Amino acid sequence: MPKKNDAASSSKRKPSSKAIVAEDNHETTETSAVTGRIEEVGKEGAKTEPAAAKKKAPAKKTAAAKKKAPAEKPAAAKEEVPAEKPAAAKEEVPAEKPAAAKEEVPAEKPAAAKEEIPAEKPAAAKKKAPAKKSAAAKEEAPAEKPAAAKEEAPAEKPVTVPEEAPVEGPADAAGTDVPQEAAPAEGHDTSPRRSVAFIGSECYPFVKTGGLGDVMYALPKALVKQNCDVKVILPRYRCIPWEYQQKMIYRGSFQMDLCADGKSFYVGIMEYVWDGVVYDFIDNEEFFGGGDPYTNLIDDIPKYCYFAKAALAALNYMDWIPDIIHCHDWQAALVPVYLRTQFVDTKLTTAKTVMTIHNLRFQGVYNIPTIRYWSGLPDYVFNMGALTVKYRDANMLKGGLTYANIITTVSPSYAGEIQSDYYGETLDAHLRYHSGKLRGIVNGIDYDIWDPDTDSRLYENYNIANVLERKKENKRRLQEELGLVQDEHKFVIGLISRLTNQKGLDLVTSILPQVLDGNTQVVVLGTGDRGYEDTFRYYEQAYKGYVCSNIMYDETRAHRIYAGADALLVPSRFEPCGLTQLIAMHYGTVPIVRETGGLKDTVEPYNRFFNTGNGFTFDRYEPGLLLDAINRAKTFYFENRWCWDEMVQRDMDKNLSWENSARQYKELYLELTR
């Protein structure tokens, strides 16, 4: 991470203090990954090894490499909240090639070049992986290392066992570090068991910035019910609330080589078990000790190179060999690449990989020398068929798409759209090339969190039977809390969104005065681009009592808006799936959406002849069409309330749970491991 990048420090391991203690007590858990091949080294992996490895990293080289990358990019790179759009990123490329870059002889397997076409893999290898293997592996794994890890845990600090999830949690906090088999499907599923490692950069409730966080939480849980054994691997960000941090159990640690010059980094594994899902947090203060999960590409590129490799190394270390490794978005996209290059000789190689695109806009693009340096990946992956784009940049997502066995995205429509120039974010040709392994599976919502009948954040709970009455009370209380004119007859439109260009907010801001007719109120909740934030603030001032702009991230307020609004606006320019319209429907709030991606797949437009449908839609990205859709909804609300109410109940009745989606993922896993 450039900012802390003095060579000395980066070549040193930077465990959190807790982990240091444990590690120091147990040399035996040190796993040396000198060449990036992390066999089950560890056991006698001497302490000396890391030291040696460290030395390897020529101090200045690193420093140089780091500095270089950042040096000129910053200007361009800065606006990327999480990551950029390749288009933008590419200009940043400083033509220079870091001195460091040149000597990074890939050290790797020569023959490996062939795997570039990842799709296939030794047919033989595949077969053996499956079900029993993982199950078996699980039990054995612990036997060796864990044994060590076990004793370490207590050494550090009294570990508290997760209270909410005691049942399947590590039975003994200090001891059985083995992720126990998740409870077998509760009568739900009799299909063969599969083990799945989810790798991604955020997960509710630990850290969430958007829909990815919801999916990383809800899908594993739903998969447990589909007879899957799921482990979720996440970065251990400092911003994870203490209530979770304190319940994590130390699982072990080791040193891992990362960069092209073999620099070695600490990898700690902290575990937390909840609801049948095992969460393993990759601990490294240098990479994850900052505030937010995403900062800027200059920091994020090294961070997620490290994370991708450390996630695999951690699986290896724990000897937990899953049938499937399911990677999410660009932050985990190097996982399939590492798996088919530097980990090809490890047990993990039997695993199949699924790469899910939650949002194609974010791809992790930077100049080749920087990514080559930090990832330590062999030269041959930097070709136009894999990581390289525009001949000078490396695109981490593209690498993942290339090497994954299957690509999924979060709705069938988006799966089609991203193969077109308009939605393809410059990867459309690549996706068309790989279209044979591209699928779309729509997201669901977690009914444990999103259920108006039990949601403790609501003013008043309701269900399909009493929604018409109780929703009014939620509306009135919402108006009261937000300082809006309190009148149950007003038509309240909610908008809960990141305030970015993707979300169609330029359409909204351009027609807002026409929407505000005295009978309509608009409640905005979101953060993002300063321009949108200010515009909504302005409208709040200009239309006091009728517009409320909550420029913040607030879960409770979100729940209350879903419950109190009559309609929810989602006019996105593109929308891979979209969760807000799903939540809205489940809360009896009628969605007004643009027909794109998952919005198109989940919201059936109202048909006044048959009185069917779930919401109001428009197709082309034009303000006039959005206004028209809003006006149709309003007219319907004010002039045909009986039918409106029917729609509200129809929406609440719609099955939006994760069950269907999880079943489709399970089928995909079975197909891959058959």
Q: For binding to ligand ADP (CB under 6 A), which residues are involved?
A: 210-211, 214, 496-498, 525-527, 553-555, 558, 578-580
For ligand ADP, the closer of residues 268 and 578 by Cβ is 578
The helix/strand/coil state of 194 is: strand
Q: Residue 647: which of 600, 590, 592, 599 has the closest Cα?
A: 590
For ligand ADP, the closer of residues 25 and 527 by Cβ is 527
Least distance from ligand ADP to the Cβ atom of residue 230, Å:
21
Least distance from ligand ADP to the Cβ atom of residue 455, Å:
13
For ligand ADP, the closer of residues 141 and 524 by Cβ is 524
For ligand ADP, the closer of residues 459 and 553 by Cβ is 553
Give dist(CA 112, CA 638) in Å, integer: 66
List all residues 6 or more positions away from 170 whose beta carbon is below 8 Å from its beta carbon. Answer: 161, 176, 177, 178, 179, 180, 249, 271, 273
Least distance from ligand ADP to the Cβ atom of residue 220, Å:
17
For ligand ADP, the closer of residues 261 and 329 by Cβ is 329
Least distance from ligand ADP to the Cβ atom of residue 391, Å:
31
Least distance from ligand ADP to the Cβ atom of residue 589, Å:
12
Least distance from ligand ADP to the Cβ atom of residue 291, Å:
18
Least distance from ligand ADP to the Cβ atom of residue 481, Å:
15
Least distance from ligand ADP to the Cβ atom of residue 641, Å:
27
The helix/strand/coil state of 631 is: helix
Residue 415 class from Cβ within 10 Å (0-12 exposed, 13-18 middle, 19+ buried)? buried
- What are the helix (H) ranges across 483-579? 505-515, 530-542, 555-564
- What are the helix (H) ranges across 319-466? 334-339, 368-375, 396-403, 412-417, 428-433
Identity of the amino acid at 270: M
Angle at 89 between CA 87 and CA 95, to 5 degrees: 115
For the record, the structure tokens of 433 come out as 């090339």
Phi, psi dihedral angles at 258 (to 5 degrees): -125, -60
- What are the helix (H) ranges across 640-657? 641-653
Q: Which residue is nearest to ligand ADP (CB)?
A: 211
Angle at 384 between CA 307 and CA 427, to 5 degrees: 75
Least distance from ligand ADP to the Cβ atom of residue 522, Å:
15
Q: Cis bond leading into 205, ω under 30°?
A: yes
For ligand ADP, the closer of residues 188 and 654 by Cβ is 654
The helix/strand/coil state of 309 is: helix
